[in-house]
Structure 1
Amino acid sequence: MVKIEPFEVEQWMDRLETTPGVLNIAETCAASVSVDDLVRMCEDKDAPGPLSLSNKLTYGAIRGSETLRQRVAALYDRASDAEPLPAENVIITQGAIAANFLTFYTLVGPGDHVICVYPTYQQLYSVPESLGAEVSLWKLKRENGYVPDVAELERLVRNNTKLIVINNPNNPMGSTIPSPTLAQIVAFAKQRDITILSDEVYSPLYHSLPAGQDAPPSILAFGYDKTIATGSMSKAFALAGIRTGWIAARDRRIVDAAAAARDYTTISVSQLDDQVASYALSAPVVRPLLARNTALARHNLRLLGAFVDKYPAVCAWVRPTAGTTALVQFCRGGVPVDDAGLVMDVLGKTKVLFMPASPCFGLGKDFKGFVRLGYVCETEVLMEGLEKLGRYIEEYLMVDGGN
């Protein structure tokens, strides 16, 4: 039997997010939209609707419809001087989680070595390990704003390093790897003929970058053939329910290999999901959809920032610059709390849900007291959740009434 570690954050979410009356500020997707919402957003009222109900529901296009693959490919032209990505260099998958799994399943195995940023979504290091690869963790540091230090790659790389895995924007930190750092990573990998996988599921929600810093392009924009980007409709596009993601690669052979491996699993994606995703990524819809989600992220991050600032003796963080998640540390009397215990106690007393970092991201003592909050939910949910969490802090975490 294949040995694979329990996927902690998903198991915690599965157990707790259906708690009756829960105020879920653990959710990592931008507040979800409906198909009706997409139609209302559409800037071209004469455009065809999202679904053709007369289509026969066959397997459809095995790699995804030409329309959807073209529209996904167009996402990678943003801020890029590279050649436009052909639709043939994209394969549609069941969410980014399937895209990542399929990439690892295709590219790594026993005898290979993988370098992965850490902390990040557990899949990105646990799946390569389950496939027999050795994994070295490229640890992100607070003093560096949770941006990876490229100089550390010299210590981590081996002769058998097959893959460098990054996550931009980062989950759970909400940090951004800027363009100059991405260029350094690409140069390092290219010199050694190492493939780069960039999980870009939270792109392009670069909503709160420092003044003067531009949003970075995809890893596909740097002129290196051995680059792979994965993404989905779930996070930045607020459509987790259609379970649609993709693998995009500069080297067509990588996509072909993934397609060959995928023949043994899901074969194709749902035609209905494909149609909705194609509609959402059409020019008259994708612009207002991303504008809505970016504005929501900026507004809600200001609310969360005001909350953290209100309780400086209890809460600490590195303010996110992108994505939908933030990592916040909770202390009592200057001592980090037990984050797993805090999550369960807050949920029991207030119905407010967020995720503990120590078990869910393997962070251990270095990140004791840290929790992940998803702040791009409906604003009303965030406000009520923070109000109740504030009352909990004042009753249970403040020492001698101080703040």
Structure 2
Amino acid sequence: MNQLGDFELAKWGHGDHNGLVKISAAGSQGPAMSLNDLKAISTDPEATSAALNFDDMKLTAAHTTTDAVTHHLASFYDSTKVFVQPSDILLAHGTTGANSIVLQGLLSPGDHVISTFPTYAPLFSLAKACGATLSFLRLRDENNWTIDIPELEALIKPETKMLILNNPHNPTGSTISTSTQAALVALAAKHDLILFCDEIFRPLFHIAEHPSSFLEHASKSYDRIVVTGSLSKAWGFAGVRIGWAATTSPALREKMRRVREWILQEVGEVDKRIAGEVLGPRCCSAILAKNLEIARENWGLLREFLRVWEGSVRCVVPTGGSTAFVRFLRKGGEGGEVRPVDDLLFCQGLLEETGVLVSPGRLCFGPDEEELKGYVRMHICIPPDNFRRAIEGLERFLKSDRFAKIQ
């Protein structure tokens, strides 16, 4: 793993930036909640308060294969086609830990993997650090960031081991429909690939028909599907370091379990207790409804911003997740054609002039790919008052002399 470079998205989003940040729309986690907030949103506050009383809890490392968290999670993946057992789920330290045990457990040097692009950089960077070679399946905004399956199949080689996906997609907010999922699963089965999907933003969907989890496509004839998730995005409990990897394949699960034993062994009992309440029937529906309403309100603000600045700002409507991938353009050159701006200079200027932080596409999702020029990722699941101030900052900056000088 010594091939890993800097994680630019984390450096940018978590950086101090000399104290300039007034409004951060650079992240992607759900709005944070306190334990008191959790009790208040519960359908039974008294029972939730009792569940979150840690005074007599023994702070040991309980090495159990199933618990309340895995039982709740198993029910999320149940469908008419597949029955997911609590023992099919391995808990980890956030999705970061879950993705690590998937990639370290299932990849070997010389394996070939295919990843969508752009995407969350650790997905392909960790695969490369495990010794795998990499091909990108490029998603394009003119195709609404959707997957071209014939183009994907053309990338498959005899040594291809894994297909890496992200649904809902980070940074664009696009989603993979259930029918497209079925086609991807059929392709993976045809070539005996492992299909790995980071589903950290699930079930944060902004469309009426919610896509299934990839895990719900598993069958007796093809079970080489692994999905991961955590509490940080849809639920807003990023500080509770609980993530998971789920598969119905005993062979894949055993390989991941071995890595888990070496690198983390167990997750914290306090974290598991909180996670059990977040994901349980008293709280989970209300938390999700709250966060979806925040995203809907903010998307309305962003949609109006796009309407007013049509020609200078472009964005494919997100159908899931908590981010939008927005492209900023300006007229330039002798012909006066519209060109994307330098996204890093844009983000630096926006921060210095207005205090608004958003994430530059080429730096954070590139690395430095020209096709991502002008794109920035915006967080659409922050408190609406903050998002409104971020939009106001963007409008001021687009009218400024500094923006006019960015090439």
Q: Same fold (TM over 0.5)?
A: yes
- Are residue 215 (structure 1) and residue 203 (structure 2) matched? no
Structure 2 match to 1:364: 369
Separation in structure 2 between the aligned mates of residue 392 and residue 306 of structure 1, nearest angstrom? 17
> Cα 1:318–1:41, aligned 2, differ >3 Å: closer, same or farther?
same
Q: Tell me the equivalent position of 1:59.
A: 61
Corresponding letter in the other structure for 1:353: L
TM-score, normalised with respect to structure 2: 0.92
Which whole-Å CA distance do the structure 1 matches of 2:303 and 2:161 have between them?
A: 40
Moved more, 264-273 or 13-22: 13-22
**Which residue of the other structure, out of 225, 238, 243, is the alignment partner of 1:240?**
238
- CA distance, structure 2, for counterparts of residue 331 and residue 288 of structure 1: 39
Contact 1:41 1:289 in 2 (8 A): yes
SS in 2 for 1:242: coil
Letter in 2 for 1:70: H
Q: Partner letter of residue 342 of structure 2?
A: D
**Per-residue deviation, residues 296-322 of structure 1 (Å, max 9, x unmatched):** 111111111111211113211111111
Distance 1:43 1:383 in 2: 31
Give the partner amino acid of 1:332.
R
What residue is the counterpart of 1:301 in the other structure?
299
Q: Which amino acid aligns with 2:130?
A: L
Whether the aligned pair in 1 keeps the contact of 2:21 and 2:351 (CA below 8 Å) is: no
Aligned-residue offset at 1:159: 0.9
Q: How far off its partner does 1:20 sit?
A: 5.0
| Matched residue count | 392
> Using a 3 Å threshold, how does the CA distance of structure 1 residues 18 and 295 change in structure 2: closer, same or farther?
farther
Task: State the shift of 1:266 in Å.
Answer: 1.6
Identify which range, 215-224 or 167-176, moves more after superposition. Answer: 215-224
Deviations, residues 15-67 of structure 1 (Å, cap 9, x unaligned): 2478355200112012111111111111123424324321211112355x511
Contact 1:17 1:24 in 2 (8 A): no
Query: Which residue is 1:162 aligned to?
Result: 161
| 2:51 aligned residue | 49
Q: Which letter does structure 2 place at the counterpart of 1:52?
A: F
- C-alpha displacement of 1:292: 0.7
Q: Output the CA distance in 2 between the equivalents of 1:162 and 1:221.
A: 21
Quote the RMSD (CA, aligned, Å).
1.7
Pairing 1:343–2:344 present: no
1:294 partner amino acid: L
1:214–1:198 Cα change, 3 Å: same
Aligned residue identity for 1:246:
W
Question: Which residue type is aligned with residue 337 of structure 1?
Answer: V
Secondary structure at 1:166 match in 2: strand
Structure 1 residues 83-232: aligned runs within 5 Å: 83-207=82-206, 209=207, 214-222=209-217, 223=219, 224-232=222-230
> Counterpart in 2 of 1:9?
9
Paired residues of 2:204 and 2:321 also in contact (CA < 8 A)? yes
Measured against aligned partners, the alpha-carbon deviations of 1:178-235 in whole angstroms (never above 9, x if no partner) come to: 111100000011112111001000000111x2xxx62111001113311111000000
- Aligned partners of 2:106, 2:134: CA distance in 1, in Å? 14
Q: Is residue 120–residue 172 contact of structure 1 (8 Å, CA) maintained in 2?
A: yes
Q: How far apart are 1:84 and its partner, in Å? A: 2.3
2:334 maps to what in 1?
Answer: none
Tell me whether 1:388 sits opposite 2:390 in the alignment: no
Task: Tell me the SS of whatever aligns to 1:284.
Answer: coil
**Shift in CA distance, 345/278, structure 1 to aligned 2, threshold 3 Å:** same
Report the equivalent of 2:335: none
Task: Identify if the C-alpha distance between structure 1 residues 21 and 136 changes in structure 2 by more than 3 Å, giving closer, same or farther.
Answer: closer
Report the alpha carbon displacement of residue 111 of structure 1 after superposing the two structures with TM: 1.6
Q: 2-side partners of 1:29 and 1:82: how far apart?
A: 31
Distance in structure 1 (CA, Å) of the matches to 2:124 and 2:31 = 28
CA distance in 2, matches of 1:50, 1:2: 40
1:71-86 alignment runs, 5 A limit: 71-77=72-78, 80-86=79-85
Taking the aligned partners of 2:32 and 2:341, their CA distance within structure 1 comes to 32
Residue 262 to residue 277, structure 1, CA distance change in 2 (3 Å): same
Change (3 A) 1:98 1:145: same
Q: Deviations over 1:129-156 (max 9, x none)?
A: 1111111111111222101111112210
**C-alpha distance in 2 between matches for 1:75 and 1:189:** 23
Q: Determine helix, strand or coil for the equivalent of 1:240.
A: coil
Per-residue Cα deviation, 1:356-392 (whole angstroms, up to 9, x for no partner):
0011111521121110001100111101111122111
**What letter matches 1:3 in structure 2?**
Q
Measured against aligned partners, the alpha-carbon deviations of 1:314-336 in whole angstroms (never above 9, x if no partner) come to 21111111100111111122221
Residue identity opposite 1:69 in structure 2 = T
Do the aligned residues in 2 keep the contact of 1:51 with 1:272 (CA within 8 Å)? no
Mapped to 2, the partners of 1:253 and 1:162 lie a distance apart of 15
Taking structure 1 as reference, are residues 259 and 53 closer, same or farther at Cα in structure 2, changes over 3 Å only? farther
- The answer to whether the 8 A contact 2:329-2:339 is kept is yes
1:268 counterpart = 2:266: yes
3-state SS, counterpart of residue 114 of structure 2: strand
> One-letter code of the match for 2:54?
S
The alignment status of 1:281 with 2:285, answered yes or no, reads no
Cα distance in structure 1, aligned partners of 2:403 and 2:34: 41
Report the Cα distance in structure 2 between the residues aligned to 1:390 and 1:272, rounded to whole angstroms. 44
Does the 8 Å CA contact 2:61/2:266 hold for their aligned counterparts? yes
Normalising by structure 1, we get a TM-score of 0.93
CA contact under 8 A between 1:358 and 1:370: conserved in structure 2?
A: yes
